[in-house]
Amino acid sequence: MPERVIFHIDVNSAFLSWEAVDRLRHGETVDLRLIPSAVGGDIESRHGVILAKSIPAKKYKVTTGEPVVDALKKCPNLVLVKPRHGLYQEMSAAFIRILNQYTDRIEQFSVDEAFMDMTGTGRLFGAPVEAANRIKDQIKKELGFTVNVGISSCKLLAKMASDFEKPDKVHTLFPEEMEKKMWPLPVGDLFFAGKAATKRLNEIGIRTIGDLANADRDMITRVLKKQGDVLWRYANGLDDSKVEPIRPDAKGYSNSTTISFDVTDAKTAKEILRDLTDHVCQRLRRDDVKVESVSVQFRFNNLTRASHQGALPTATNITQEIYAMVCKLFDEKWDGTPIRLLGVATTKVSKEDCGRQMKLFDDTDYEKLERLDKAMDSIRNRFGFNAVMRASAMGEEETERKK
């Protein structure tokens, strides 16, 4: 069998680049990518965090994930723009459509990243570096933004390669290149090496990725438990995970979203799951069907994935009822590993109304919930999905504004 050829495509400063491209198309003359600028937060109140920054902003030490107020202290002339997630989803979809011209073996890792299995495509698109440059240049020409492409024989090393010098670059990192290109890097640059793990490794004298690769595996595992073993493997370029496209479920209704940042708290994850559930349930009611089974799907930032399924007490299409099960499944399955994709899927679809099995101590007014869902569906069908929000979401936003 031929050696695998895996690409990791990473959009350079995705949200900022997409904002710049869209604004230039609509007549603006200043390119946000060429001035100190950033996407993020509530500009008026200066709350929230930086989601993306330009290269000029990086020179002021502005970092992704830091509070907007701190970024403005570092760079008072920082141009801030509000995030437009609808635009980013459109740009992401256009980006993936170009990748699909080269292979159907694509795994979208986040809204601005994807893995491609390019094994066996040499006759069509040339050698790996030639093909990568072709993809990179096509995206720049047709969509107006730049990407980095990392090339290797596994997903891990391809992702590491795409993080080398930016922007608009192609880099290789095959196993035989690790000693020269990867091992001299600080151990904190290794994929999945968080701040806490990096600090602990530094404390025991491990400063570079090469130090970790050549350390005793059992010792590293004793120090960092399961994560230590994963990091030791990654430092040695050991990764056999496949590029796994997510296929649509033809027997049910589902919705998923890739996320541009690591989700590390349950509150944020459940806000995302609530929106996904809301969309799925609206489609169920549109088609006048109910479901008896729900699952929550995860893809984590360590390249692994998981799902957890549960049976509903009775067939339903009520948002609140299905969302309660989604939250229960999430709490049972999530172990705290940072999340890059969340999905909600429903199965065992039926048009038959078999009635509801009432429970002795259940005083929920299901008819009222059904009327509420129908009223919200009617408003959203006329004025758009965001025209009306559920009270829980509004309450959370109001709480955030008061902080």
Q: Which residues are known catalytic residues?
A: 113
- Measure the CA–CA gap between 189 and 29, rounded to whole angstroms: 37
What is the CB neighbour count within 10 angstroms for residue 97? 11
Q: N- to C-terminal Cα distance for the chain?
A: 58
Closest CA to 277 of 366, 358, 385: 385
Closest CA to 281 of 319, 229, 246, 315: 319
Helix pair 266-286, 366-383: axis angle to 10 deg: 80
**Beta strand extents in 18-75 (DSSP E only):** 37-42, 47-53
- Measure the CA–CA gap between 193 and 188, rounded to whole angstroms: 6
* Residue 217: partners with Cβ closer than 8 Å, 6 or more residues away: 229, 232
Q: Which residues pair with 263 in a beta bridge?
A: 339
Residue 224: which H helix or E strand, with range? Answer: helix 217-235
* 276-280: Cβ within 8 A, 24+ apart: 276/342, 276/343, 276/344, 277/319, 277/322, 277/323, 277/326, 277/344, 278/319, 278/323, 278/390, 279/255, 279/385, 280/253, 280/254, 280/255, 280/322, 280/344, 280/345, 280/346
- Measure the CA–CA gap between 275 and 136, rounded to whole angstroms: 33
Per-residue burial over 31-57, b if 16 or more Cβ lie within 10 Å, else e, is ebbeebbbbbbeeeeeebbbbbbbbbb
With beta carbons less than 8 A apart as the criterion, state whether 11 and 1 touch. Answer: no
